[in-house]
Structure 1
Amino acid sequence: MKAIAVQRYGGPEVLELMDLPEPRLGPDVVLVRVRYAGVNPADWKIREGYIDDWFEAHFPMVMGCDLSGVVERVGLGVTEFVPGDEVVGYVRADHMQRGTYGELVAAPVRTLARRPRALDWRQSAGLPAAGLTAYQALRRHLRVGPGDVLLVHAAAGGVGSLAVQIGRALGARVIGTASERNHDFLRSLGAEPVTYGPGLADRVRALAPQGVDAVFDLMGGDTLLGSPALLRPGGRLASISGDVTGLGGRYVFVRPDPADLAALVDLADRGELTVHVSAEFPLAEAARAHELVAGGHVRGKVVLAVTP
């Protein structure tokens, strides 16, 4: 099968289109023919070796964790899916070797859900990792509910744009930070936009004079450091930066969870959640996709077209 893999850590140039053996099918594993693969910021960080201390890596290592595709075969113990089922998946193991940038992926049942009918194949591939990150942050870590005021930093990105919509679906009022060019986009999702940069705290306070109930930070750095001052007493803080724990907040590290993924699919099929795809590349041009995502200014998601 064709796949994009790396044989060592490095820049985009280490991504290679390879012919690899078809993955083995375990008893609780589903073989998926991939239509599209989502590209996430974690992908280029993994490629460059930034999380080598966290996960054991085996080379050649197929990149990627997001997919939309069709079930081709199922393992002996699988009862949840049958060949022909259309699925989405956040396919991550506790080691790095078999990702989703390939024609065939062996996906454990716990990483999959049925594909949302309200989204196309491209949008579906952009949902799992970003959607689960946002959903788990808002539901588990921040406990966002009706009447809350939620502030999302980097609200126009892949995770942020989904967090805005999930927050709205949970009954919260959502304020989102973004560059001015993305303000209309955030308004279309139901958020009240504010601009990054000096004076951010004053702009947030103008919209929420008593402070916000919850902050979901996707930027880190000075933006994270300034977030506790925006909370009202008893407010909650979560971030994808580990520095948040020193501020009394919760660190968000996304986990595969079929129930959470099914909840996202349900939100999409109810018309409460959509995925904005800003760019699509053929599988062989994964390096260009990585360069775009690493630039940090993508609105929504970037995907790879894997098989017709």
Structure 2
Amino acid sequence: MTLLFALIRSAPGTFIDSMISPEMTRAQVERIREVWGLNEPLWKQYLNFMINYQTGEFGRSPTWRVPVWDLILRRMPRTLILFGASYIIAYLVGPLVGMYLGWWRGTQKDKTIFGTSLMVYSMPAFWLAWLFIWFFDYEMGWLPSAYMMTQFPEFEWTAFTVMTDVLTHIALPLISLSCIGWVGAMLIMRPSMNNVVDEGYVFLARAKGLDERTVMIKHAARNALIPVATGAIVGLAFLIDGAVITEAVFTWPGMGQILVEAVLNNDYPVTQAAFFMLAVLVVGMRLITDIAYTYLDPRIKFGEEN
């Protein structure tokens, strides 16, 4: 939070620059600074920031002219829909593909899929998003590339048309995020699977006469998933970063879009609140990961005494 406070205020200008005109007197300018708390010493602004954000007092947005909490409550569900769906897809597909590639290590199938995945992973998220917009919207006209819903519909809104319209609009940003996100999970799962293939418990499972699929999934993959759970936190941070850019490219009305606009407008309250809420999300996911360890790692028992 200290770093966030310092970085935001190191940007040139303040959000009140757009409120000040040459016709204003010095007293009027000072009044505006007083209303927004910018006339106070920097140390006092920092102290107020720390106290207010620990208690959920985010203030009012000078750009949108509404309380920041109202803006977050309106935009956060849209980001969670897009971000949550892409995160689930990435960490379902990625470990699954990595499991098979680690099991097929050294084969032509492993080399081909692995090489192609690395090529996709190296692409910038915004460039891939533009590529999808060009192909699926401009060239083929299959999927819309902007907003969450049709802006000026020529059809009547019903429960079915609303659901269909939202699904068609979320398709491109979801594909853009998922295409890159799953590779990170695969890159962790593949070597982890390689490491457990030659473990004694895998040979023991085969010696018991278990079929190959049971050995791979139940015995090898479960232990190989432990590093993936740790990597999911790092992947979460990268996915949030990509989600912010993707929302701006697709004009998706979520937290990412307002975060970009808030940074460009030096909107301190919204920028600080958006980063703060994203940090809370990462910490919450870390807690979920620690709980998941108790299932993935048989050496850890939740709530049991030694």
When the two structures are superposed, what TM-score results if normalisation uses the length of structure 1?
A: 0.26
**Which protein is bigger by CA-based radius of gyration?**
2
Which structure has more helix as a fraction of its residues? 2
- Structure with more relative contact order (C-alpha pairs < 8 Å, separation 6 or more): 2
When the two structures are superposed, what TM-score results if normalisation uses the length of structure 2?
A: 0.26
